[in-house]
Structure 1
């Protein structure tokens, strides 16, 4: 991890994870079906965030299940 934070924005349609060490994240379901983020269902149009808490997060898995996730996170 460098001295400056790095903001990463992406849209995904497959499975993956927010990487270990992220400081903040926002995930929104912009697709047409229900997705799973950290084992919790996220319906179309719903978003969730992982706010800055003073230390890095562990990896958070997601399954897009053919839908689309818009993800923003900071390393």
Structure 2
């Protein structure tokens, strides 16, 4: 369904690049178990570490796509 060598972000919410650089393999992968390769990551924490931008509600925004205030 997607071409990992030439990903495209055609979302109506996209404010950046449309044609993205090729996907890269993970540098460190997470598992539900301890790893000999990455002993500093103690297993059992889960397999989906995430970070990213935070949502800040703006009452003055006229966007039809803004989230409700409770997501702030």
Using structure 1 for the length normalisation, give the TM-score: 0.22
Give the number of the structure with larger relative contact order, counting CA–CA contacts within 8 Å between residues 6 or more apart.
Answer: 1
The TM-score normalised by the length of structure 2 is 0.23
Higher strand share: 1
Structure number with bigger Rg: 2
